[in-house]
A and B are shown apart, each in its own frame.
Chain A
Amino acid sequence: MPKQSPIPDELDKPFYDACNAERLVAQYCTSCRRYQFPPRPRCIRCGKDTAVEWRPLSGRGRIISRVVVYDTPTSSLIPGQPFNVAAIALDDEPEIIMLSHLPGTPVDQVPVGAAVEVIFETTPATGQKVPEWRVIA
């Protein structure tokens, strides 16, 4: 699936730099002791910006839901319709949800509840890598 290439900004550069090194990281609030993603200037719970730091994640998760997209707005993905989009709850923080096309999983056969692990996919426009997920057999 030829994804759009995300353009990093000052806030999320550490996340995308880590992706290029094939590491998954997320912001962690040392005050609230919880992760958050997408990146934000401060903790969305306590509001502190000084307590937020980047920490590595295990790269493991679980599929909690899925849809099959038949009418995407994204031009580059239209030729590949229909396609899966799964919601991945991270083992490190189950309320953090990331999305995935689940490469290798047939359309409409997403095994909800299955364990997944992160892989990294290169996006064509800039070469920026992004996290993807595959089902662990």
Chain B
Amino acid sequence: MPHPVVPREWFRNKEGLGLWEGRGKVVATGVGTSPTARRWDEKPETSMGALTILAIRKAIADAGIAPEEIDGLVLTPESTTGISKDPNTPPPPGWEKHFKMASFPQAGITRGDIDWLLLNMPELKNVKFMMNGPICMSVSFVAAAEAVARGLTKTCLVARGWHNLAGRYYVGVGASALNTASGRFKYSSIWGLPACGTTAMVFEEYCRKYGKSHDQMANFVVTSRRNGLMNPDGYYSQHRPEMITVEDYLTARWIAKPANIYDNDLPIMAALAVVFTTPERARDHKQKPVYILSHGQTRPESMGVVPTLEQWERSTDRMGRILYEGAGVGPDDLDFENMYDGFTLFHQFHLEGLRYAARGEKRGYALDLYETDISIEGPNPVSPSGGNNGNGRTRWWNHRDSILQLQGRSPSQIRKKAEIGVSGAPMPDSCDALIWSAKPPV
């Protein structure tokens, strides 16, 4: 059964809307994270669906509530950014012995599905509110925040799983292997740009405009990996616990110069679930409530095949203004920023749009900031989660960590007191972001 997607009317995608009406009415409490893997080994118990079920059960347990208390479920059904299978591709042999089948065979394998989850999680017997937050879990967080604030659900799960099948991402497979090109990507794909190519182009434009260099990214990338390795749930800490050095970064092989291999995030298998509820109900939850002060959206306005520096700066500037207006706070109130980093070379657009640690500067300061102390011990923690760069591609480590930081239990807890933080994803011109707070708004 198709479920509604988050209505556009819920988006805060323009200025002048004032304080968010849901400000102080929604909190996050329980968090559940699955184990990670590089690729799916085709076993039902390690499938994306199985990981999502595991994450949901862990989030409910973490919140210290009964499954019957859950009355809402918001899911991001897309579970990869790579090439995947047709939804009607049959599941591997033995799948039906482990899971009940939903309306399409790939449910729980290469696509998340609310009906599949509810079929296979009989303990979620009171879910009445169901909604999809497409493309990015950031959208699902916004949908759940609005739904709780509007009284459509009292205790709502937000979930997203990721799958990664065998083979290289896009390289020499599917449409890339053909001698013809169809669909909307034909305007760019025939020139052979890898996924990071667009970002690398805009980054190059940025460096040229502000007199910066790719080498200045090194401390950000190394610090992100360090932060990620503190996280026992991250891919690198579980499977490749080696630290990288500045030298590693500066000598890494190019993918699309100026983007090298460390500027690209690693596709993985993983799932996350978070419990959203009202402040009143959260009094009975085990974990400290983290308030959502506001959210904001940007969507692409590109007129060409690839965006320009001007467009990305305009878009991230707008995001900063929308968020601060809705939350009633400003850049100086942020104790950390956990904006998206997958690709590393666009993180600074998000950061500068928020004027994080700007000290009066507007644009072109982030790479200089990266060369200062941006560690969790320092005065301006940048991406304390480690992001995709430090944990593998999910687009949600940053949100997860914002909640954990403000609960005071992040594995990479910042040393200064964490009271307000921000996280958002994915692209500089297509982003959903939230401002989180340890305390209710005054």
Chain A residues whose CB sits within 8 angstroms of the CB of B310 once the complex forms = 95
- Chain B residues 290 to 349 lying within 8 A of chain A, measured CB to CB, are 301-311
Chain B residues whose CB sits within 8 angstroms of the CB of A95 once the complex forms = 303-304, 308, 310-311
Q: Specify which of B181, B255, B301 is in contact with A5 (CB 8 Å cutoff).
A: B181
Contact present for A7 and B197 (CB under 8 Å): no
Contact present for A7 and B186 (CB under 8 Å): yes
Closest B residue to A125 using CB positions: B179
Chain A residues whose CB sits within 8 angstroms of the CB of B176 once the complex forms = 73-75
Contact present for B257 and A67 (CB under 8 Å): yes
Tell me whether A5 and B179 are in contact in the complex, defined as CB-CB below 8 angstroms, given that A38-B187, A38-B305, A95-B308 are known contacts.
yes
Chain A residues whose CB sits within 8 angstroms of the CB of B256 once the complex forms = 67-71, 85
B254 within 8 A of A: yes
Contact present for B305 and A4 (CB under 8 Å): no
Closest B residue to A16 using CB positions: B186
Contact present for A98 and B305 (CB under 8 Å): yes
Contact present for B193 and A69 (CB under 8 Å): yes
- Chain B residues 214 to 258 lying within 8 A of chain A, measured CB to CB, are 253-258
B356-384: contact bitstring with A at CB < 8 Å (1 yes, 0 no)?
Answer: 00000000000000000000000000000
Contact present for B192 and A65 (CB under 8 Å): no
Q: Specify which of B179, B208, B301 is in contact with A76 (CB 8 Å cutoff).
A: B179
B119 within 8 A of A: no
Contact present for A7 and B257 (CB under 8 Å): no
Chain B residues whose CB sits within 8 angstroms of the CB of A73 once the complex forms = 169-172, 176, 192, 194-195
With both chains docked as a complex, state the minimum distance between the C-beta of A69 and any C-beta of chain B, in angstroms: 5
- Chain A residue total in the interface (Cβ 8 A): 49
Complex alpha-carbon distance, A73 and B259, angstroms:
15
Stretch at the interface among B46-54, B198-206, B420-428: B198-206
Complex alpha-carbon distance, A117 and B172, angstroms:
31
Tell me whether A7 and B180 are in contact in the complex, defined as CB-CB below 8 angstroms, given that A44-B303, A65-B205, A67-B201 are known contacts.
yes
With both chains docked as a complex, state the minimum distance between the C-beta of A82 and any C-beta of chain B, in angstroms: 8
Contact present for A98 and B304 (CB under 8 Å): yes
Q: Specify which of B182, B189, B208, B305 is in contact with A112 (CB 8 Å cutoff).
A: B208
Chain B residues whose CB sits within 8 angstroms of the CB of A100 once the complex forms = 191
Contact present for B308 and A74 (CB under 8 Å): no
Chain A residues whose CB sits within 8 angstroms of the CB of B306 once the complex forms = 87, 97, 99
Complex alpha-carbon distance, A35 and B304, angstroms:
9
Chain B residues whose CB sits within 8 angstroms of the CB of A3 once the complex forms = 190-191
Tell me whether A66 and B186 are in contact in the complex, defined as CB-CB below 8 angstroms, given that A72-B193, A100-B191 are known contacts.
no
Chain B residues whose CB sits within 8 angstroms of the CB of A124 once the complex forms = 179
- Chain B residue total in the interface (Cβ 8 A): 47
Chain B residues whose CB sits within 8 angstroms of the CB of A7 once the complex forms = 180-182, 186
Contact present for B311 and A37 (CB under 8 Å): no
Q: Specify which of B181, B184, B195, B307 is in contact with A4 (CB 8 Å cutoff).
A: B181
Chain A residues whose CB sits within 8 angstroms of the CB of B311 once the complex forms = 95
Chain A residues whose CB sits within 8 angstroms of the CB of B170 once the complex forms = 73
Contact present for B303 and A35 (CB under 8 Å): yes
Q: Specify which of B189, B194, B202, B303 is in contact with A71 (CB 8 Å cutoff).
A: B194
Complex alpha-carbon distance, A38 and B306, angstroms:
10
Contact present for B308 and A67 (CB under 8 Å): no
Contact present for B204 and A130 (CB under 8 Å): no
Closest B residue to A108 using CB positions: B257
Closest B residue to A1 using CB positions: B192
With both chains docked as a complex, state the minimum distance between the C-beta of A90 and any C-beta of chain B, in angstroms: 8
B442 within 8 A of A: no
Complex alpha-carbon distance, A46 and B10, angstroms:
21
With both chains docked as a complex, state the minimum distance between the C-beta of B143 and any C-beta of chain A, in angstroms: 24
Chain A residues whose CB sits within 8 angstroms of the CB of B305 once the complex forms = 37-38, 97-99
Chain B residues whose CB sits within 8 angstroms of the CB of A64 once the complex forms = 205, 308
A34 within 8 A of B: yes
Kindly list 17 other residue pairs between chains A and B, CB separation below 8 angstroms, not including A85-B193, A97-B308.
A4-B178, A5-B181, A6-B181, A7-B186, A37-B304, A37-B305, A67-B200, A67-B259, A69-B192, A71-B254, A73-B170, A74-B189, A89-B308, A97-B302, A97-B307, A108-B257, A130-B190
Question: Can you show 28 pairs from A to B with CB atoms below 8 A apart?
Answer: A6-B187, A7-B180, A7-B182, A65-B201, A65-B204, A66-B204, A67-B193, A67-B197, A67-B256, A68-B257, A69-B192, A69-B197, A69-B256, A69-B257, A71-B194, A71-B253, A72-B194, A73-B172, A73-B194, A73-B195, A74-B190, A76-B179, A82-B254, A85-B191, A85-B193, A89-B308, A97-B305, A130-B190
Q: Which residues of B contact A (CB under 8 A)?
A: 169-172, 176-182, 184, 186-195, 197, 200-202, 204-205, 208, 253-259, 301-311
Q: Which residues of A contact B (CB under 8 A)?
A: 1, 3-7, 9, 34-38, 44-45, 64-78, 82-83, 85, 87, 89, 93, 95-101, 108, 112, 123-126, 130
